[in-house]
Amino acid sequence: MSATPLVNQLKSIDHASAEGKSKEILDIALKQVGFIPNMYANMANAPAVLSTYLHGYGLFRAESGLKPAEQEVVFLAVSQVNGCKYCTAAHSMIADKMSGVPADVLQAIRVKTTIPDAKLATLYDTTVAMVKSHGQPNPETVQTFLSAGYKETDLMYIVLAIAVKTLSNFSNHLFATTVDERFAAYKVD
């Protein structure tokens, strides 16, 4: 993927000088995460995009029933399939520092080797299959997922995660978003 922004007329929205709906949604984002990530500053060009992202992201985190480590596996799978280096870096940091993803699992995901936890591997593989098949995984994938102890409703929450990550992944592609300093140690090539 090119590091050249595809959107040339739009610039990041500076929170300090933002106005109207952009300011309102950046204020909400600041309260939620304590800083304005570069991704949010870009998404604020279309406040509805950032608002939808924050709302869906929050609902996935709060209501999916998936453990924080499982949520990160889903977000990493979507971001990798969509080729989003920004979100892969950000969610790698969150996985490592906040969500309790085992180091060997995170490393396996990042280098795309066999995930040493069978249940998390199934979750990762199912999410990848969902993205690649546009929400139409084969029956064997679904059966393996259910046999691993997940529920059918978990598939619906994976759809929600795919939706919010697609908003962020595609926005980052358009802007060639620079990875924030706090995620820099987790950059991927």
Taking each helix axis as running N to C, give the angle between helix 20-33 and helix 47-63, from 0 to 180 degrees, rounded to the nearest 10: 30
Structural domain tally of the chain?
1
**60 found inside a domain:** no
Q: Dig out the tokens for 43 from the structure.
A: 């998404």
Look up the domain containing 163 and give its range.
66-186
pLDDT number for residue 66 = 98
DSSP per-residue codes, 11-67 = -PPPGGG--HHHHHHHHHHHHHHSS--HHHHHHTTSHHHHHHHHHHHHHHHHHS---
Quote the percentage of the chain above a pLDDT of 90.
Answer: 94
Predicted confidence band of residue 4 (pLDDT cuts 50, 70, 90):
confident
**Looking at residues 133-147, what average pLDDT do you find?**
98
**Looking at residues 80-102, what average pLDDT do you find?**
98
CATH number at residue 107: 1.20.1290.10
pLDDT number for residue 2 = 55
**157 found inside a domain:** yes
- 143-184: pLDDT as tens digits: 999 999 999 999 999 999 999 999 999 999 999 999 999 999
Contact indicator for 184, 94 with CB cutoff of 8 Å: no
**89 found inside a domain:** yes
Mean of all residue pLDDT scores within the chain: 96
Q: Quick check: pTM over 0.85?
A: yes
43/80 Cα distance (integer angstroms): 20
**41 found inside a domain:** no
175/106 Cα distance (integer angstroms): 26
